[in-house]
Structure 1
Amino acid sequence: MVERKRCLIVGLGQIGAGYDIDAGQNGGIYTHARAITLHPAFDLVGGVDPVETQRARFEAKYNVKAYDAVAEAMHELCPDVVVIATPAEFHLQNVDEVLEAGPPAVILCEKPLALSEADGEMLVRRCEQAGVRLFVNFIRRSDPGAIEIHRRIQLGEIAAPLKASFWYSKGLYNNGSHFINLLQYWLGEVRDHMVLDHGRRWANSDPEPDVRLRFDLGTVVLQAAREESFSFYGGEILSASGRLSYRNGGRNIGWQGVRLDENFIGYRFLSPEVQSIDNDMDRYQWHVYEQLGQFLAGAPFQLCSGDEALATLRVVAAIAGRYGSEL
């Protein structure tokens, strides 16, 4: 029997423990705490947060101790996996605290990796020097639907070159990075970009530009929607072999193949039949830990590495830097 890995969560806010703290037995799995508790490969052994009310809520729900300092938690619990679920401006500081206290085998850091390229590079380098494997929690990379799209593109079933249009909201760093990272997973490296519209700043901080991105396998226009009106995440990809629809943040994925037109010789059209691609976005965080378990077992996995997250951060920082945006 494989030994369960001990997990410590640093940051007990929404993604750490809050989103699904009142979920029923069959409810969604949106946080690290719930995913760790439910996954057979892991044990939740503690949490860290400076806010007393969040520590108390976490302890009452999960019946494990919450600390106000990283060093104390590391020394007492000796975790195998440390989750950094604090705001991005604290990621480098928190990772340094973890490494100084005694490196775990794995650090799983929330996205974005950092708010500057320099901090991101430093964070990746320090984990490498400490012999710690760093992953970043770009959740869609681990979803079965996204993995199936990746497979189809790699096999040419969704044939390149591709053209796509995607939407995000709540800022380029906060949410736009999710889709840039997902598109890098599907389409390869970003070769260049052009800001089409500078847009505004979400919460007077995070820029929301419209931008065109050229990847190895195609071109994408990424546009900002207005979160205060309604959430709108997703888009579509056009291929010589058909059309992929990725809607509702990845909860609705459909594929339409191509048919020959029986009435007009030489014409082709999209099939009216839409093939649904299975996904499990209401348990997205569980699938991150499923992929982490695969890594720890020496099996193939689809997590976002620190280097891949740094590549995403470089693209985001370059786009923001085109018009002097600083967070």
Structure 2
Amino acid sequence: MVEAKRCLIIGLGQIGAGYDIDSGPDGGIYTHARSIALHPSFELVGGVDPLESQRQRFQVRYGVEAFESIGLAMRSLQPEIVVIATPAELHLRHVEQVLAVNTPEIIICEKPLALSEAQGAELVRRCEEAGVALFVNFIRRSEPGAIEVRRRIEAGEIAAPLKGSFWYSKGLFNNGSHFINLLQYWLGAIKEHAVLDEGRHWAGCDPEPDVRIVFDRGSVVVQAAWEEAFSFYGGELLSHSGRLAYRNGGSLIEWQGLSRDENFTGYSVLSAQVENIHNDMDRYQWHVYEQLSHFLADEPSELCSGREALATLRVVAAIAGRYRNEI
């Protein structure tokens, strides 16, 4: 049996450890800490956070040491995998601090990769020069339902070109990037984009425009909703072969094929039968680590690489460039 890889988490907030810290054995798996602790291919050896309350909560829950200093944690634990679960504006600095001590095999960075293309490119360069495999935690492309959608598109079962609309809220960098990255995963490279409505800024800093994006396999209008009213993430894609609905952030994925119109000869309509494509969003973070285990076994993996995340960031930053020169 392959020995479990030693993992250190830098940033013990919500995605690092908080979302599911009180979950029972059958609860959801939404954080890096719970995923690593439960997955047989990985061993959680420690955490880093500047807040004593975060460190204490983590230590009590997982029984491993939490440090205030990245350098001390890296020297003490010698992790093979480092998770950077800190705010995006700190990602490059924290990767530099990690690499200044020693070189892990893998770094998993939270999304977005950075808040400017220049910082993102520098982060990717640092990891490549150090020989570190870099992945970015765009969770949806590791989830089984999204993987099945990609398979159907590539097989032509969901025929291209596709055309659709998607909704996000809570900022283009923070949440809109999730869906742009997912659509790149399904529809291929972005060829062009145009801002339809500049919208506002979430929390005064993260732009929320409506944008039309053209991909290799179709085009999608991505629109901003109002997070303060309710969270709303998802959308639909139309194909010559039917309709795909991606609802509730991906917890419901539906496919409608075609049938003959019973009333009008020669016409087709969407079938009354709706197929629910199996998904497992209640364990979305687990599936990231399952895909990472495939990578470690030299098997195909659906993780988002640093280069792929940089392509997403390049588009998001270009859109945001209409508002200011630097985010």
Per the TM superposition, whether the score is higher than 0.5 is yes
Structure 2 equivalent of residue 288 of structure 1: 288
Say if 2:108 is the partner of 1:105: no
For the aligned residue pairs, the C-alpha RMSD in angstroms reads: 0.7
Shift of 1:2: 1.0
Scaled by the length of structure 2, the TM-score of the pair is 0.99
- Please list the CA deviations of residues 266-290 of structure 1 after superposition, one character each: whole Å capped at 9, or x if unmatched: 2000001100000000100000000
User: Matched residues in 2 for 1:290 and 1:325: separation?
Assistant: 38
User: Matched residues in 2 for 1:272 and 1:198: separation?
Assistant: 38
Scaled by the length of structure 1, the TM-score of the pair is 0.99
Structure 1 equivalent of residue 305 of structure 2: 305
Fraction of identical pairs, as percent = 71
Matched to 1:21, the amino acid is I
In structure 2, list runs of 5 or more residues that go unmatched. Answer: none
- Please list the CA deviations of residues 75-107 of structure 1 after superposition, one character each: whole Å capped at 9, or x if unmatched: 111111000000001000000011111010000
Aligned length: 327
User: Matched residues in 1 for 2:78 and 2:164: separation?
Assistant: 45
Say if 2:315 is the partner of 1:323: no
Shift of 1:261: 1.8
Matched to 1:150, the amino acid is R
The 5 Å alignment of 1:216-235 reads 216-235=216-235
User: Matched residues in 2 for 1:323 and 1:99: separation?
Assistant: 34
Partner of 2:179, secondary structure, is: helix
Structure 1 equivalent of residue 141 of structure 2: 141
The 5 Å alignment of 1:56-75 reads 56-75=56-75
Shift of 1:171: 0.1
Matched to 1:124, the amino acid is V
Structure 1 equivalent of residue 36 of structure 2: 36
Partner of 1:89, secondary structure, is: helix
User: Matched residues in 1 for 2:230 and 2:102: separation?
Assistant: 44
- Please list the CA deviations of residues 290-325 of structure 1 after superposition, one character each: whole Å capped at 9, or x if unmatched: 000000011111000000000000000011112336
Counterpart contact for 1:104–1:132, Cα < 8 Å: yes
Matched to 1:291, the amino acid is Q
The 5 Å alignment of 1:251-270 reads 251-270=251-270
User: Matched residues in 1 for 2:192 and 2:323: separation?
Assistant: 16
Structure 2 equivalent of residue 250 of structure 1: 250
Partner of 1:20, secondary structure, is: coil
Shift of 1:326: 4.1
Counterpart contact for 1:207–1:325, Cα < 8 Å: no
- Please list the CA deviations of residues 131-185 of structure 1 after superposition, one character each: whole Å capped at 9, or x if unmatched: 0000000000100000000000000000001001000000000000000000000
User: Matched residues in 2 for 1:294 and 1:164: separation?
Assistant: 32
User: Matched residues in 1 for 2:162 and 2:132: separation?
Assistant: 36
Partner of 1:316, secondary structure, is: helix
In structure 1, list runs of 5 or more residues that go unmatched. Answer: none
Structure 2 equivalent of residue 167 of structure 1: 167
